[in-house]
Amino acid sequence: MPKVFVSHSNQNKDEIPLIVDGLKRAGFGVWVDYENIRGSADWLCEIQAGIERCDAVVTVLSKASLGSVWVERECLYAFQLSKPLFTALLDNLRLPLYLVNIQYCDFREDFAGGSKQLAESLTSALSSSESSIVYPDEAHTTEANRLNFFPYVEQLPGGEIATLAARDLFHWSAGIADEVAFGGRVNPGCHVRINLNGRPVTVLSIWAYPKTPAAQIYFDHLASFAPYHQISARRALLKQLNQILPTEFRLPAAKSDRRPTIPLTVLNSAEILESFKGVLAEILAALRAK
């Protein structure tokens, strides 16, 4: 009998027994903390051993478990052991970076349907003699990287357009900048840098802001280097940006000393996106020329 470890928040005390019962009826053995940890046991050791002995892990993702350090640790340990991992989604929320590439079973509106989908997915995965899988090193982490950043953006408002723009900017920047790096877990970002005077300087960031994914140009960084140490050069640059942006998104003059932010959904046509990249290319060329 294949055995499944259920990772969850204790705040979901009404839903977890139903999920556990559904798995048992489908023919799975289930490891769940309230049934398998003795009162005097070392909690951490018992959980670790439970994951190690199980054939798969089910993460019950809810508003409560999303903020649980324990659930996060259990998932990451499952990835480390290459255990097949499945997500049971209870609430309407954004998948965290470490789960964004895992297909979820939807319990939100049809609990019985979600339970059936979960059992079928487990049966299909564990029926193979090769039930363990190999996760790419960067696939499932709590920090943004090239594998989880774009699927994460796709969940956000205007996600389809924002992801197309973000991917395009990433691939273009990788060919023209000195460094393109990912980072962050609360606000994941992709950062485009150039090496100046022996140090990396961030020129552009692509941010996965929850309400509006956006591109941000660091005018405050540019102000330290010629030709943009001159306010007139920064204002001219701002004017170039405003010429390609729709009226309602044009940037005030005060942004020439700050970090103007442009929603990725504004870059919704090939013409606007290419013009935006043209401005960025001019910035990099001007900085390198000095």
Helix (H) or strand (E) holding 207, with range, is strand 199-207
Architecture of the domain defined by 3-126:
3-Layer(aba) Sandwich (3.40)
Q: Is the pLDDT of residue 39 over 80?
A: no
The model's pLDDT over 243-272, given as tens digits with 9 standing for 90+, comes to 999 999 999 999 999 999 999 999 999 999
Q: How many CB atoms lie within 10 A of CB 226?
A: 12
The model's pLDDT over 197-243, given as tens digits with 9 standing for 90+, comes to 899 999 999 999 999 999 999 999 999 999 999 999 999 999 999 99
Q: How confident is the model at residue 188 (pLDDT cuts 50, 70, 90)?
A: very high
- For the chain, what are the domain ranges? 3-126, 149-289
Distance between the two ends of the chain, CA-based, in angstroms?
69
Helix (H) or strand (E) holding 6, with range, is strand 3-7
The model's pLDDT over 74-121, given as tens digits with 9 standing for 90+, comes to 999 999 999 999 999 999 999 999 999 999 999 999 999 999 999 999
Q: Are 234 and 228 in contact (CB under 8 A)?
A: yes
Mean of pLDDT values over 120-132 = 78
Helix (H) or strand (E) holding 279, with range, is helix 270-289
Render the burial of 55-89: b for 16+ CB within 10 Å, e for the rest.
Answer: bbbbbbbbebbbebebbbbbbebbbeeebbbbbbb
Q: How confident is the model at residue 127 (pLDDT cuts 50, 70, 90)?
A: confident
List beta partners, residue 214.
207, 263
pLDDT of residue 46: 86
Q: What percent of the chain has pLDDT over 70?
A: 95
Phi-psi region of 120 (alpha: psi -120 to 50; beta: other; left: phi over 0): alpha
Mean of per-residue pLDDT scores for the chain: 93
Q: Is the pLDDT of residue 133 over 80?
A: no
Mean of pLDDT values over 53-65 = 96
3-state class of 203 per DSSP?
strand
Mean of pLDDT values over 60-65 = 97
Amino acid letter, residue 225: F
Mean of pLDDT values over 269-278 = 96
pLDDT of residue 201: 97
pLDDT of residue 40: 45
Q: What does DSSP say about strands 189-196 and 199-207: parallel, antiparallel, or unpaired?
A: antiparallel
Q: What percent of the chain has pLDDT over 90?
A: 85
Q: How confident is the model at residue 140 (pLDDT cuts 50, 70, 90)?
A: confident
Q: Are 153 and 212 in contact (CB under 8 A)?
A: no
User: For residue 101, which phi and psi values (nearest 5 degrees)?
Assistant: -95, 10
Q: How confident is the model at residue 274 (pLDDT cuts 50, 70, 90)?
A: very high
